[in-house]
Amino acid sequence: MKNVLLIINPSSGGEKAKEYEHLAKEKLESLFDNVEVKRTAKAGDAEEFAKSAAQENYHSVFTMGGDGTVNEVINGLAGEQKRPNFGFFPLGTVNDLARALNISLDPKEAINSLDSTKQRPMDIGKINDRYFSNVVAIGAIPEGINQVDTEEKTKFGKLAYFISGAKQLSANKSYQFNLTIDGEEQTIKSSTLLIGLTNSIGGFDSLLPNAKIDDGKLHFLFLKDQNFLDTVKTVPDLLKGIKEPTKNVAYLTVKTLKIEVLNQVELATNVDGDPGAELPVEIRVLPAHLTVYAG
């Protein structure tokens, strides 16, 4: 029997989940034997629901919510020995994973177009003892993103991230990092580091055009900027998409990465769009760790 759990975050997408809950449940019931619905009430609920479903041998776990809810569900599944198939209906501000998987950003269309035969292996990243599906960002821009509250996200969408990130960059802040890349050490100075698993970062679905959800790689880039003018020079490269290193942006693919910030600076990460662990961090890729329903 194919049991399915549907985890719904009622507050995602400006509380639009209530509009689509019945449609999603009806669609899943047409594809699977039994569908159970659970609604989150607080942070951490989605992770616990997903973890319990994995331990109870559910066939699949779906969620309806934004990038944060998706990240919670992945954290509930990724640490288990037997992992259910994973699917989601996007309701968030940016929805990077949906973009990478060609899932419609329109919730109704995403639900109606779900095809249970379209499954793909998906790499998962691990940062310290947590998991991510899309990106770890570190530095000036992520610091700005971490300061964006829920009300600003709802009002301005992904524009809120750009406004806050631009404010941080204009402060002309860069950091000294010590990196251990696949066992090799180096020291760099940069305002911003990105470690991506997919092509879509921050709503730009061609920022890392070579990144595939199942290529078994971390796609690591950092800005070669010492001042604000240097930072401005990186913008055209980023808008075109980073396929190889440029004069202004370093780019390489790795399996493992350790990142420390020097000079006793306190610096937090941003993981899949939400505040994450403080540095130092160790990051690695878990190839084909989940099976996901794709568009």
Do you know the residue count of the chain? 295
Q: Are 190 and 222 in contact (CB under 8 A)?
A: yes
Give the contacts of 68 (CB within 8 A, at least 6 positions apart). Answer: 92, 272, 273, 274
Residues 105/95, Cβ–Cβ less than 8 Å: yes
Tokens, residue 227: 């001042």
Q: Are 249 and 115 in contact (CB under 8 A)?
A: no
Token couple for 239: 């808008």
- Catalytic residue, candidates 45, 214, 215, 274: 274
Strands (E) in the chain, as ranges, are 3-8, 34-39, 60-65, 85-90, 119-127, 130-132, 135-139, 175-181, 184-190, 192-196, 218-223, 249-254, 256-261, 268-271, 274-278, 281-293
Is residue 251 within 8 A of residue 215, CB to CB? The reply is no
Say whether 274 is catalytic: yes
Alpha-helical (H) ranges within 11-82 are 12-15, 17-31, 45-55, 67-78
Amino acid of residue 60: S
Task: Output phi, psi for 226, to 5 deg.
Answer: -105, -15
Non-local CB neighbours of 219 within 8 Å, separated by 6+ positions: 195, 196, 197, 208, 210, 211, 251, 253
Q: Please give the positions annotated as active site.
A: 274
